Amino acid sequence: MSEWLFLLLPVAAVSGWWVAKRGDGGQGVPGPTSDPAFFRGLNYLLDEQPDKAIDIFVKLAEVNDETAEVHLALGSLFRRRGEVDRAIRIHQNLVSRPNLSKEERGYALFELGQDYMRAGLFDRAERMFRELMEMQLHRKRALEGLREIYQQEKDWARCLEVAEQLWLLTGESVGAESAQYHCELAEESLKAGNGQQAATHLSRAQAMDSDCIRATMLQARMAMSRGDSRATVALYHRLARQGSQFQPEILSELVDTYRRSGLEDELSELKRLYRAYPSPALAMTLTDVILDREGNEAAIAFLIEHITGQADLAGLERLLELYGPKLTDDAQTRAAFDATLAVVGHLRSRQPDHQCEHCGFVARRLHWQCPSCKYWGSIKPIQPEPIGNRAPAPPTAALPEPH
């Protein structure tokens, strides 16, 4: 479906309003919906010929300057074609008309708000959406517009207010995004050195969304920085349980905690964690520890087991590197092996790290809000594909709850 079709929604709504107005005793009122040219314009939109539609609406607007719906359609078309200044002029003229009905004014304010958003004039867009809220018109779309503005401005406290209003208005869950706003506020508090306030925001995040991985991750980092090893390990286990694919984000810090604290045996603890929540990042870390403690053969055996059934290129590359010294000195064997390792290394370096589950956007690093579709929490580390019919291994060990 073309984006032009979306334009028909407000146009159709205005047309419906016009028909209803005529049916309510407005018979005989001349308007564009009685003009066949208006429907020709709509047909051009359906046929994805916006330029022809614009020509028709411009002529209609010249013939009858009072018709709001033609100006609304024209303004939207200009904005979608990137001519935001023209769209703003048309919608500003509409809004300034004293004889505009409440409904027409509502549509014009919303369109003008959209124009200002597109032009990056957020303060003006905010005024349009606030006025719509006061008029009790298009409240859901006005709140969504306000939410977008406050997200752009990183005004997380206001994002929380708008999310609550959206929830009251629509009944749709806003827990996951509200939890993210609290996490943003927690990060700001941490930067300002206010750990207590950060902890309060993280508790609120978890009250909003008990599966909020980001809140657990921040709590683990806070526990690490205050040297509370026991809480760090427990929070890491909770993180692995909530989303094992997120382990790479704080894995190296966890290993440091093991090493510094001496609380647990690093090797047996990592093995236990891997059995319960296997992930490629954990396999790489565990390989290094096995290599250090148990030697080359044990590390190779572990990696063979790890990549059996899953196309983990990083695991394969590491296996080949460890296996290299075991090869014979036969020149052709060595050449074939080096070529294989080079191909695997090339493929792995081109492999994306993270992907949005909602829109497919590929990223090199973890973003909590997708830069493309603006969804929260939808970007996740990419996991290797299973080979054959092997399903991902289920957790095999019960892990303790965090304190």
Cβ pair 368, 377 in contact under 8 A: yes
- CA–CA separation, 124 vs 267, rounded Å? 58
- Whose Cβ is closer to Zn ion: residue 89's or residue 374's? 374
Q: In the bound complex, what is the minimum distance in angstroms from residue 367's beta carbon to Zn ion?
A: 9
Q: In the bound complex, what is the minimum distance in angstroms from residue 212's beta carbon to Zn ion?
A: 18
Q: Give the binding site for Zn ion (CB under 5 A).
A: 356, 358-359, 361, 370, 372-373
Q: In the bound complex, what is the minimum distance in angstroms from residue 116's beta carbon to Zn ion?
A: 25
| SS3 state of residue 387 | coil
- Whose Cβ is closer to Zn ion: residue 21's or residue 367's? 367
Rounded to the nearest 10 degrees, the angle between the axes of helix 68-80 and helix 36-46 is 20
CA angle 201, 202, 206 (to 5 degrees): 120
Q: Which neighbouring-strand residues pair with 386?
A: 310
Q: In the bound complex, what is the minimum distance in angstroms from residue 370's beta carbon to Zn ion?
A: 3
- Whose Cβ is closer to Zn ion: residue 257's or residue 355's? 355
CA distances from 298 to 96, 274, 303, 313, 340 (A): 78, 15, 9, 20, 23
- Whose Cβ is closer to Zn ion: residue 322's or residue 359's? 359
Max distance between CA atoms of the chain, in angstroms, equals 97
CA atoms within 13 A on the CB side of 337: 16
- Whose Cβ is closer to Zn ion: residue 89's or residue 358's? 358
CA distances from 378 to 182, 183, 187, 372 (A): 17, 15, 19, 11
CA distances from 297 to 34, 301, 348 (A): 84, 6, 24
Q: In the bound complex, what is the minimum distance in angstroms from residue 375's beta carbon to Zn ion?
A: 5
- Whose Cβ is closer to Zn ion: residue 232's or residue 378's? 378
Residue with tokens 């572990």: 302
Q: In the bound complex, what is the minimum distance in angstroms from residue 382's beta carbon to Zn ion?
A: 14
Q: In the bound complex, what is the minimum distance in angstroms from residue 374's beta carbon to Zn ion?
A: 7
- Whose Cβ is closer to Zn ion: residue 305's or residue 357's? 357
Closest CA to 201 of 215, 217, 222: 215
